[in-house]
Structure 1
Amino acid sequence: MREIPQWTNDMAIRQWGAMPRTVLEQTEHGGDFAKRHLINPVLLRMLGDLNGQRVLDAGCGNGYLSRMLAERHAQVVGVEPGQSLYEFAVERETAAPLGIRYVQADLCALPDLGAPFDAVVASMVLPAIPDWTGAMRACVDALKPGGLFVFTVNHPCFEQLWPSWREHGEYRTRRYLAEYEIPGPSGVDFHRTIATYLNQLVSLGCQIAEIAEPGLAPETAADGPDGIDAYVHLPNFLVVAARRGS
């Protein structure tokens, strides 16, 4: 197994940036099943009224969340380093303009994005970044004092919930405290503990406002893919909202 120190942001960006167009098209409207039913509703509730708010979608991928935010009348800047993801987001904005500004950049090396943001969202982004502490710092630095930072990650306790549930009818894991790779169909995520994420957030001067572990409604699971009922019983995602200090 490849050790995490061998990875660089550039390597991860190249891998994620080669995502096939078919995948991008399948997830252009609200993301995948889990994002539509578990992550997005919590994110939008935490963000609250977005009318006129300046929002950074950090690691915006194919732009589905940026479009959702813009449709709620936010002034959106989406940053995405991956080539195919960035190009798809720009293409959709060109075809149906919502006033979104897309920037191709590594989150750890952000260009000047203008005035500080009222809110920064990093949804399912930090686990995919080798230099995640640099990315989190950049997200917080982009906020105005008192601004809201909301991020989501695979729940560190239940990261491979779906395949485990399908195989065993329960969740099984053998390790938690070590950092390790989680290979996926489009790229690699990295396991880190809950404390690792939250302690870094606190060290950046943020005050945690809310933590959510969303569960799937039974009636929604009934219409979902095989094994998705695991999400009714255990959380596969962790959503954190925090305020930047003054």
Structure 2
Amino acid sequence: MTEWTNDTAIQRWGTIPRDALQATAHDGDFAKRHLINPVLLRMLGDLQGQRVLDAGCGNGYLSRILARRGAQIVGVEPGQSQFEFAVEQETSAPQGIQYVQADLCALPDLGAPFDAVVSSMVLPAVPDWTGAMRACVQALKPGGLFVFTVNHPCYEQLWPTWRQHGEYRTARYLAEYEIPGPSGVDFHRTIATYLNQLISLGCHLTELAEPGLTPQLAENGPDGIDAYTHLPNFLIAAARRAA
């Protein structure tokens, strides 16, 4: 496996072209819109007046959704193209979002502790993911809520293998390995790896979700998306920092 550092991963992810960022600027892609966002928003609950950190905010779409729900948002994003796009959106249509360009493992002073931290589809892309998770938890006030999403470690490549074979196939699970993508590289880690790190940080797991598509939604999705009606492609966790 290639020796990745946070810096090299950030450089790779930070070159996503503008048209790709624009295409997902409102509510993300098909999977985020129908599988991730509804669960995240339900887990986060009433956000009116809540101080929320969007850790690894990308193009800022989730930050903008949360701001529309009354949250006071700080969005942290290290990638150059994503950060610039998010700032541009805030400049053209201000919602009071503060965007900060920083590595999650080296956060600057962001002010008072947060009521909630959300990190959606970020940890799999971070080489020093344990440092990133630690920073997310430490940014919370005691009893604060941490919600994160990852590619489901059991079914990370569900869509491509389903299109090829009509079923899900995998040959390995226990070892960490790279998953190359069009914009960057994700890293496979087991479910136990993520959850044990969460426990070691003094967090109390409150919910796990493995969302699936309804057949009706799959009918209007891209080719092969019917796999998501049978198996989950995402794992979503909610936890509380120790009071």
Band of TM-score, shorter chain? over 0.9
SS of 1:224's equivalent in the other structure is coil
Partner of 1:85: 82
Q: Alpha carbon RMSD of aligned pairs, Å?
A: 0.4
Extract unaligned runs of 5+ from structure 2: none
SS in 1 for 2:182: coil
2: CA distance, partners of 1:218 / 1:50: 31
Aligned position for 1:164: 161
**Is 1:28 paired with 2:22?**
no
The structure 1 segments of at least 4 consecutive aligned residues displaced by more than 6 Å after TM superposition are none
Using the alignment, how far apart are the partners of 1:178 and 1:184 within structure 2? 19
Name the CA distance, whole Å, in 2 between partners of 1:216 and 1:149: 24
Structure 1's unaligned 5+ residue stretches are none
The answer for the alignment partner of 2:62 in structure 1 is 65
In the other structure, the counterpart of 2:7 is 10
Distance 1:93 1:73 in 2: 15
CA separation in 2, counterparts of 1:18 and 1:226?
27
Give per-residue Cα distances to partners, 1:143-198, cap 9 Å, x unaligned: 00000000000000000000000000000000000000000010000000000000
Separation in structure 2 between the aligned mates of residue 15 and residue 36 of structure 1, nearest angstrom:
25
Show the counterpart of 1:186. Answer: 183
For residues 108-157 of structure 1, what are the alpha-carbon distances to aligned partners after superposition, in whole Å with 9 as ceiling and x for unaligned? 00000000000000000000000000000000000000000000000000
Residue 218 (structure 1) aligns with = 215
Partner letter of residue 55 of structure 1? V
Question: Where do 1:1-246 residues align within 5 Å?
Answer: 2-3=1-2, 6-246=3-243
Deviation digits for residues 71-100 of structure 1 (CA, Å, limit 9, x no counterpart): 000000000000000000000000000000
Superimposed CA distance per residue, residues 178-236 of structure 1 (whole angstroms, 9 cap, x where no aligned partner):
00000001000000000000000000000000000000011000000000000000000
Q: Secondary structure at the match of 1:15?
A: helix
Structure 1 counterpart of 2:39, one-letter code: V
CA distance in 2, matches of 1:115, 1:131: 25
Partner letter of residue 12 of structure 1? A
Q: Distance in 2 between matches of 1:168 and 1:97?
A: 47
Partner amino acid, structure 1, of 2:204: Q
SS of the counterpart of 1:29?
Answer: coil
Query: In structure 2, how many angstroms separate the alpha carbons of the residues matched to 1:155 and 1:163?
Result: 14
Query: Structure 2: how far apart are the matches of 1:154 and 1:176?
Result: 13
Instruction: Give the TM-score, by structure 1 length.
Output: 0.98
How many residue pairs were aligned? 243
Match of 1:229, SS state, is helix
Rounded Cα–Cα distance in structure 1 between residues aligned with 2:184 and 2:140: 28
Report the Cα distance in structure 2 between the residues aligned to 1:220 and 1:193, rounded to whole angstroms.
29
Secondary structure of 1:76 counterpart = strand
Letter matched to residue 117 of structure 1: F
Relative to the length of structure 2, the TM-score reads 1.00
Matched residue type, 1:226: D
Task: Give the fraction of aligned pairs with identical amino acids, expressed as a percent.
Answer: 81
